[in-house]
Amino acid sequence: MRPVQPGLFGLEPSLPEGFRYQPDLIPPDQERELVRRFAELPFAAFEFREYVGKRRIVSYGSKYDFSRERLISTEAIPSFLLPLRERVASFAELAPAGLQQVLVTEYAAGAAIGWHRDKPVFEEVVGVSLLSPCIFRLRRDTGSGWERASLTLEPRSAYLLAGPSRTKWEHSIPAVSSLRYSVTFRTMRAVWG
């Protein structure tokens, strides 16, 4: 794994097993084209039961229906996202076709995402951060407290949650200071429930 950012006294921060980070996954011109295409997407406010979040989302391939607690089919992944899926798959060492679910999220200034683990129907999670940086926080309950880690996701960077970083750790993003997009690709768990 490539070093992420120096910790206190220049030491590399301790990140969970299975977590990987890659700055500059895509060039600036590809980022600009993606953001331009996002203006055409049918974003809707994120809804979690009776809660409506400040961020807006659109899912492709499938989406998780929180009211029915199950996965439902949605439109196919748009062709303009397929080159990004190829690059993400290469970074994560996964087959592109295995990344069957895509979530595009728009974070307006002040939008955040609370502590969570992605639903168990999903396996690996690969995210791409666009337009502005954000703090990506991770935590794990040790039984006697929380073990924590964090890093800054820079624009055009990618991260992978696999293994313990995916199954044992939660993650969150505090309120962003300016418009940010993320594109999250997920593989599906073979057996779940």
Report, at the CATH architecture level, how domain 22-188 is classified: Sandwich (2.60)
Give the span between the Cα atoms of 82 and 21, in whole angstroms: 21
Q: Which helix (H) or strand (E) holds 31?
A: helix 28-38
For 74-97, b/e burial (b = at least 16 CB within 10 A) is eeebeeebeebbebbbebbebebe
> What are 180-189's pLDDT values in tens digits?
999 999 998 8
Q: Does residue 4 surpass a pLDDT of 50?
A: no
Domain residue ranges in the chain = 22-188
Give the span between the Cα atoms of 178 and 10, in whole angstroms: 28
Q: How much of the chain exceeds pLDDT 90, in percent? A: 70
Both structure tokens of 148 = 């924590």
Question: Residues 51-79: what's their mean pLDDT?
Answer: 77
> What are 101-154's pLDDT values in tens digits?
999 999 999 999 989 998 888 899 999 999 999 999 999 999 999 999 999 999
Q: Does residue 23 surpass a pLDDT of 70?
A: yes
Burial class (CB in 10 A: 0-12, 13-18, 19+), 4: buried
